Amino acid sequence: MAEHRPHVIVIEDDPQVRLGIEQALELDDLPVRGFDAAEPALARIGPDFGGTVVCDVRLPGMDGLALLRAVMAIDREIPVVLITGHGGITMAVAAMREGAYDFIEKPFSSDRLVEVVRRAHDRRALVIENRRLKASLSAREAVPLIGDAPPMQRVRHTIAAIGPTEADVLIYGETGTGKEVAARAIHAASGRSGEFVAINCGALPETVFESEIFGHEAGAFTGALKRRIGKIEHARGGTLFLDEIETMPAILQVKLLRVLQERVVERLGSNAAIPVDCRLIAASKADLKALSDAGQFRSDLYYRLNVVGLELPPLRERKADIPLLAGHFLREAAARYRCDPPMWGEDDMAAWMAQDWPGNVRELRNAVDRFCLGVAVRRPAADAGGGSLARRVEGFERQVIESALRQTHGNVTSAAELLDTPRKTLYDKLNRHHLFPEDFRGG
C-alpha cells in the first residue's frame, strides 16, 4: 500500500468481515489499513489524517462509539463511518449527534460501503485542501500578491528586487490583473515613509485633471477660492500611482515629463518650483510603445516612465492559482457579508478552472462573491457549442455581448451603441445572461 496516499482505516475484530471490507475498498482503488481493535488504530490518527475511518461498533476494549468520541476530540472533520449488526434508530441518531459521518447496518453490500467511503474520502480531501489554502494565505498576510504559479513567482521576485530602489516603474496588465495591488506591493517593499497616493487618469475630466495632479493657488482660475495641494505633492516621501496613464491628455503628458526630469512641480497660478520627492509608478492596459509609435502617446514620456517594466500575467495563464485566489476571496466575502463561507465542490472548481476569465482576478472575485451569497449561476451548455438551436443562439448572443462589454470596458451605454441595440433591451439581456458590467471595467 502506498503510504503517501490518503487511506481508509478499517477496525473490525471479525477477520473474515475485515478481509471482505478491505478487498471491496482496494478493488475501488482505496488503500486500506486494517486493525482488529480500536486502540492501535487510534494511535495512527492525528489532525493531519487525510483519510476515512470505518469502525465496527462492538469491539473488544474500546468500542466504536468511544473511538468516535476520541477521533472527534482530535478533529471533528475526520469522517468516521460506523458499522454494526446490532444497531437501530436510537444508536444511529446518537452516533450522528456525536459526529459520525454515516452509520451502516450489517449485512450491507460492498457497493453501499464503497459509495459511503468514497463520498467521505472526497469530503475529507476538500477539508484538507481548504485548510492548506487558508494556511498558505495566512503565511502571506504581509504579501498582497497571491499565487504560486511561475508567472507570479517571477512578479514577486521582480518586486523584491526593484522595491528598495528609487526606480520609476511601468506596470502592464489586462483589465483586472491587479495592477494597483502590484503597485502597493512595490510601495511596501520600498520602505518609503510617505503615503501611497493613487489616481485613475481615465476617471478624471480633463478640466480638473491639471489641478488634481499639480495643485493650484487661490485665484488661479474661477472657483479656485483657496490653495489646493496636488497629488504629486501629497505623495511626498511616498509613491504616486497613475493608473490608466494611456488616457492622460497630451498637454499634461508634457508637464508630467518635466516633473519627472527636473523633480519639481509648479502649482497652477504659481511660479514657485516645489521639489518633488515621490516615486512614480504608472500602469497601463494598452501597449504604450505601440501608442507612442502611432503618435498617440509621447515617446519621450514613454521612455522616461519605462525605467523598469513589470508585466502582470492574465489569470488564464496562471490557472493553478485559482483555488488559492478563490479561497482568499471566499474568506473575504464571508467576512464582508457576515455569513459562513460555503464549501465549494469539485464541479464548482472545475467550472472555475474551465473559464478563460477575460476580467481576470477581478472577475473571479465577483464570481466568488456570488457563490458566497448563493446566487452563482452556471453558464448554459450552449457556451460549449452544443445543444438545441435555441441554446446555441443564446450562447452566441452572450458571447457577442461579452465581447462588446470588453471593448467598452463595461460601459453599457457604449456597448448598446456598438451593438446598435436600445440600452433597455441590452440591460434585459444582461439580466437574462447574468452578466455584470463591473466584471469588464478597467483598473
Q: What's the alpha-carbon Rg for the chain, to the nearest Å?
A: 30
What would the pLDDT profile of 25-41 be if each residue is shown by its tens digit?
Answer: 999 888 999 999 999 99
Taking Cα atoms as reference points, which of 241, 236, 234 lies closest to residue 277? 236
CATH (residue range 318-440)? 1.10.8.60
The shares of helix, strand and coil residues in the chain, as percent rounded to the nearest 5, are 50, 10, 35
CATH of domain 150-313: 3.40.50.300
The three-state secondary structure class of 46 is coil
Q: Are 178 and 361 in contact (CB under 8 A)?
A: yes
Residue 176's pLDDT band (cuts 50, 70, 90): very high
pLDDT for residue 435 is more than 90:
no
Percentage of the chain exceeding pLDDT 90? 33
CATH placement of domain 8-138: 3.40.50.2300
Listed by start position, the domains of the chain span 8-138, 150-313, 318-440
Which residues in 185-273 belong to E strands, given as ranges?
196-200, 215-216, 228-229, 239-243, 264-265
Does 318-440 match 150-313 at the fold level? no
Distance CA 187, CA 184 (A): 5
Query: What are the pLDDT digits (tens) for 260-303?
Result: 888 888 888 888 888 888 999 999 999 999 999 999 999 999 99
Q: Cell 462573491 belongs to which residue?
A: 369
Percent of the chain with pLDDT over 70: 91
* Angle, alpha carbons 341-347-349 (nearest 5°): 60
Residues 6+ apart with CB under 8 A from 180: 198, 241, 243, 283, 443
Quickly count: other Cβ atoms within 10 Å of residue 261's Cβ: 11
